Structure 1
Amino acid sequence: MSMKNKFRSFFTLDDEYEYVEEAVEQDVEEEQEPKTKSNRKQDNVVSLKSAKSSSKMVLSEPSSYNEAQDIADQLVNRRAVVINLQRVDHHQAKRIVDFLSGTVYAIGGDIQKLGAQTFLCTPDNVEISGQISEMISQETDESYKRW
């Protein structure tokens, strides 16, 4: 072979082979990427049964301020809690509501008054819609004045 042919074969054929090899490697990488992406999507799938079973509501009727921490633990465990404060004297009821208000604020939840001495505390995973009728809120306003 002449020097000219060697020079031409060096630049033309090697370039083609490199290009083909790179293209093949890119095709292989492109084929692997969708598989890993689809695996990632499958990791994010949550069964509706598990989501349904994790939603719970707890009814609580504390008899003293000491039970406020148990109610707060329920909220931290992402459970909604309805609290009836009829069995607690006025001073302790205020302290319980203050404590739970702080807990709800810390976890990004919500607290709403349902009745004269009834509250609903919810964590951030529970959405509340609707309102209590005005008749009940008028009764609670009157009882609030007594608080």
Structure 2
Amino acid sequence: MSMKGKFRNLFGIDEEEYEIVEEEVGQDEYTPPTRSGKKDDKGNVVSLSSVQKNNKMVLCEPRSYNEVQDIADHIVNRRSVVINLQRVDTLQARQIIDFMSGTVYAVSGQIKKLGSQTFLCTPDSIEISGNITEIMEEVDPEQRW
């Protein structure tokens, strides 16, 4: 056996002949190839540009509970939201966080506390990693949440 044959056996390369079969595609079945993209699980081509357009973050500073629906709409539209609750009283701030927790849960997202009155809400397409610790010295228990 020649050296070339040994390499073919070593790497599993066979010299079998393959028959090339061409299939005719009708007009209804033809889909033009896309310029850039990757294949998903079903073999369809997915455009990467549509995935990257949704990377937006919205900063919100509500003044009342009435603005919570607009904030929740950002999460439903797959945008991350940072909420600063310094301009609302404690009762309304708790109501806003309760509403946003439900919204985030509905879209399988996450909510994290960034500061004493600042929260980050993200949809399921954004992953949050890490923690921010807060030292609570002599803070009124009513102000904690």
TM bucket, shorter chain:
0.5 to 0.7
CA drift at 1:83: 0.1
1:138 maps to which residue?
A: 135
CA drift at 1:129: 1.5
1:46 maps to which residue?
A: 47
| TM-score, normalization by structure 2 | 0.66
2:84 maps to which residue?
A: 84
Question: Partner letter of residue 76 of structure 2?
Answer: V
CA displacement 1:61-120 (0-9 Å, x = unmatched): 000000000000000000000000000011000000000000000110000100000000
Higher Cα Rg, which structure = 1
Alignment of 1:92-131 (within 5 A): 92-131=92-131
Matched residue count: 112
Question: Partner letter of residue 145 of structure 1?
Answer: P
Kept in 2, the 8 Å contact 1:104–1:121? The answer is yes
Greater helix percent: which structure? 1
Structure 1 unaligned residues grouped into runs of 5+: 1-25
**Percent of aligned positions with the same letter in both sequences?**
58
Distance 2:71 2:82 in 1: 9
Distance 2:23 2:94 in 1: 61
Write out the 4+ residue segments of structure 1 that deviate beyond 3 Å after TM superposition. Answer: 39-43, 141-144
Distance 1:112 1:144 in 2: 21
1:62 maps to which residue?
A: 62
Distance 1:95 1:114 in 2: 18
Question: Partner letter of residue 108 of structure 1?
Answer: S
Distance 1:146 1:66 in 2: 23
Q: Aligned-pair RMSD on alpha carbons?
A: 2.9
In structure 2, the CA distance between the partners of 1:91 and 1:105, relative to structure 1 (3 Å rule), is same
Kept in 2, the 8 Å contact 1:65–1:93? The answer is yes
CA drift at 1:144: 7.6
In structure 2, the CA distance between the partners of 1:107 and 1:142, relative to structure 1 (3 Å rule), is farther
Distance 2:76 2:109 in 1: 10
